[in-house]
Amino acid sequence: MVSVVAGAVIQVQNLVKNYGPVQAVRGVSFEVGEGEVFGLLGPNGAGKTSTVEMLEGLRRPDGGHLSVCGLDPERDGRKLKQLTGAVLQLTSLPDKLRVEEALRLFAGFYEHPADIEALLARFQLAEKRRAFYHQLSGGQKQRLALAMSLVNNPKVLLLDEPTAGLDPQVRREIYAIIEELRQEKKTILLTTHYIEEAERLSDRVAIIDHGVLIALGTPRELKQGSAGTTRIEVRLARPVSDGALLRLDAVVDLHEFDGTYVLHSSEVPQTIVALVKHLEAEGNELQSLEIAAPSLEDVFIELTGQRLRE
């Protein structure tokens, strides 16, 4: 499952983390090459945040081996902090801390801090330099978090759900920033539960569920497993009998999620014609129909039988 990456900056081997009887991370292994954007894709509760927190040295592994820039996050934490930047899933600062104060405070922790004025300009925070943290919008707070993650000119960035809860416009702004960092050859590990985010930003993706890494490769490689099929999603006026849609022409597989039927077809026109004929014969009605090319969610459905849940 794990390919060896030449010049790997991040190495994770058989990582294990338990919280009492709960196995949050179960034998996860992957490597991240220098200058690579590596996505950890999975639903909430899959073990992504625990993995990142162990890479940051915030949690102690219960098994396995970790290495970031050749350093052990637990043993070499102080040295590693000079080389890495992080955006946690939840970033919270004191309400009365001003934007510029926050950046200068964090810059003081590092041996080779970045230019604060340049960071304020880059993240469109110059006009907000005197604003208190509690006066910032959600998007501004996240831009500040990203600016703070770069205040030490890091070699590696660990971004845990950096766009979660943001509106689509702000999310696109964050995408643009991450793509700029890619051009600067920063090594980035990004966790997300957004399909579009993983496909758009990641050079390679590891799909993780219930603490287990279930697929690893480039987005194109992973989607090749669904090559030759097209996803058809339908909602009907009434439920259909088990297996009825699976027997339609050219249908390869079928899953039902809360009244939505997800079919994968090798010949879409044949399947649509057969679907219409079946509904007419049963006196049923089509409420909605969506046709889409295979995505990483199709890979997730194929491997787990479930949609990528929130």
Which amino acid belongs to residue 21?
P
pLDDT in tens, 82-118: 999 999 888 889 999 999 999 999 999 999 999 999 9
DSSP 104: H
- Residue 56: closest CA among 132, 126, 128, 160: 160
- Structural domain contains residue 308: no
| 92 vs 33, more confident | 33
- Structural domain contains residue 254: yes
- For residue 61, pLDDT beyond 90: yes
- For residue 1, pLDDT beyond 50: no
- Mean pLDDT for 59-80 is 95
Instruction: Identify the domain containing residue 253 by its residue range.
Output: 228-293
- Mean pLDDT for 28-47 is 95
Which amino acid belongs to residue 310?
E
- Mean pLDDT for 211-219 is 95
Q: Band the pLDDT of 34: cuts 50, 70, 90.
A: very high
Q: Give yes or no: residues 98 and 121 share one domain.
A: yes
Check which CATH number belongs to the domain holding 180 and give it.
Answer: 3.40.50.300
- pLDDT value of position 242: 63
Q: Give yes or no: residues 128 and 264 share one domain.
A: no
For 17-29, the DSSP string reads: EEETTEEEEEEEE
Strand 8-19, strand 22-33: pairing:
antiparallel
Number of domains in the chain: 2
Q: How far is CA 57 from CA 74, 91, 151, 155, in A?
A: 5, 17, 19, 16
- Mean pLDDT for 145-163 is 95
Which helix (DSSP H) or strand (DSSP E) does residue 86 occupy? strand 84-87
- Structural domain contains residue 91: yes
Q: Give yes or no: residues 249 and 213 share one domain.
A: no
User: How many CB atoms are closer than 10 A to CB 9?
Assistant: 22
Q: Give yes or no: residues 48 and 161 share one domain.
A: yes
Strand 187-192, strand 37-41: pairing:
parallel
- Structural domain contains residue 303: no
- For residue 3, pLDDT beyond 70: no
- pLDDT value of position 243: 85
- Residue 51: closest CA among 185, 166, 192, 201: 192
> And the tokens for 37?
């954007």
Average pLDDT, the chain: 92
Q: What angle do CA 98, 89, 143 make, to 5 degrees?
A: 40
pTM of the full predicted structure?
A: 0.87
Check which CATH number belongs to the domain holding 245 and give it.
Answer: 3.30.70.100
Residues 6 or more apart whose Cβ sits within 8 Å of residue 40: 48, 51, 52, 189, 190, 191, 192, 205, 206, 208
Q: Give yes or no: residues 17 and 137 share one domain.
A: yes
Residues 6 or more apart whose Cβ sits within 8 Å of residue 98: 129, 130, 131, 132, 133
Q: Give yes or no: residues 43 and 119 share one domain.
A: yes
Residues 6 or more apart whose Cβ sits within 8 Å of residue 308: 41, 42, 43, 193, 195, 296, 297, 300
Q: Give yes or no: residues 194 and 52 share one domain.
A: yes
Q: Give yes or no: residues 66 and 214 share one domain.
A: yes
- Provide φ and ψ at 308, rounded to 5°: -75, 95
Q: Give yes or no: residues 27 and 142 share one domain.
A: yes
Residue where a domain stops, chosen among 223, 245, 271: 223
- For residue 4, pLDDT beyond 60: no
Q: Band the pLDDT of 39: cuts 50, 70, 90.
A: very high
Q: Give yes or no: residues 142 and 190 share one domain.
A: yes
Percentages helix, strand, coil for the chain, rounded to the nearest 5?
Answer: 35, 30, 35
Q: Give yes or no: residues 234 and 259 share one domain.
A: yes
